[in-house]
Chain A
Amino acid sequence: MGRLKGFLWRSDFFPRKLSFSREGKVVVLISIGLGFAAVNTGNNLLYMVFGLSLALILISGFLSEYNIRSIVPGRMGRLRASAGRPASFMLGATNLNKRMSSFGIEVWPLVDGNGVQVEPARFLEMPPGTAADAPGAITFSRRGRYGMHGVVVSTSFPFSFFRKSAVTACSDTVVVHPVVHPIREIDLPAAAEGEDESLPRAGRGFEFFGVRDFRVGDNPRNISHRLSAGRTQLIVREFEQTGNKEVMVALVNVDPGGPDGLERAETAVEIAASVAAHLLGKGRVVGLVSSFDAVSPGSGPAQVERILDYLATVPILELNSPGEEMHVRRMLASLNPGGVVWVRP
């Protein structure tokens, strides 16, 4: 049913979507009862009251159409959202009608998926030919990548019997980050503590690290012409990386089993995100390794975004075997970080 509803909302074939309010359902039920009573009794005054209820429903349909057809929604900026927390957005709308106001307009992004609660941007009245912005909020119950298929313009005006909506198509995705909890302090491994020093790998430092063959994209200034001439191919010099000691957050993203296994795994993802954000906030160089993939170390707000983006979509693996953790360890060994913070479900 939910899939069918989602399909109907995305379908262009039905340009308008209708949903009855509780009051609307009552009115329709009363109308059906009235019609039945009128036909059975032949009471023309009941036909008249029946006609009134049908006229209210019909006119409600026409007017709601007139109310929204001239409303053009504005573009929506990039949405930054964390699971379980309302993410605010501003949405604009323009009333192209030059004569009539539109009343009771609601605008919200059409996002796929279950557990998405939207508090629309509401416009009580949009005078003719005006544009306005209003705040709204959207809450995703789970982290992940959600498809956004358009912006919905909706109204229940004039009688609130039903809600008529129109979708202006656009294609986008919303990445919902895991929740980042505030962390006071983390006990880092001793190897991860310390001042700036040369790190034992190639980078942008000043100390010589080694030579290797030239690859496309290498800085031409690092070419060693003497060695290149001797070997008849381009050789470049490498330098040691200088900076903070790296900390890798090692996430074992597997379902440990049991009734709350998945929940524990999700909590682990949130903790990993919180740890990474905390360390990056302290100015550390942080990377992340999971059983699935890795985010290379980095620092600053961009690195927070990269890690959170990665954690938004990192899958929870079903097998809880020691091999998964070994896989993480192997990846860590290849990276040789200064310190590792393990996060297990």
Chain B
Amino acid sequence: MAVIGSLITIAITASLVNNVVLSQFLGICPFLGVSRKIDSAFGMGMAVIFVITLASAVCGVIYTFVLLPFDLVYLNTIVFILVIAMLVQFVEMFMKKFMPPLYESLGIYLPLITTNCAVLGVALLNVSSEYNVLEGIVNGLATAIGFTVAIVLLAGIREKTEYNDVPESFKGMPMVLLSSALMAIAFVGFSGLRG
């Protein structure tokens, strides 16, 4: 039971308290770039959930069973980024071949994910927090869910405020950033959950 408890703690911390976008600033580029419509934001979120969970599993296994025994820990950045790039490529090919409908809905977001720093960030944070493979996977999944929640919320706000009359200089990105700032203030409130 203690294991399940610690996993739940990890999940809540990763998805709400330390929200990947709003408090750790990982994955800002897709967060600002693909949040114009709720549909595409949701698609991006799903693709990120898929890739981050898979990547934290694979990176966790490689770190525990290859890098640690052979004393190659200092290579983790290079190894992880290559693993992630290959993984994204494989997932894309696999989906194209065997799951065409899923590929059509998520396909355009997949190449973008290689440069999503949230994927590499989670893999590195799993290592620096000394999570085992299972904890790493849970952390990855929860982080990605937090990302999806944040990007869908922002897309909702942007759909509502798109035609608002704001000062000339603030049109576009500054307004999006200010919306994110207000969301971040709201998410600061979750820090009470950690107890």
To the question of whether A and B form a pair in one complex, the answer is no
**Measuring CB to CB, which residues of chain A are less than 8 angstroms from any residue of chain B?**
none
**Measuring CB to CB, which residues of chain B are less than 8 angstroms from any residue of chain A?**
none
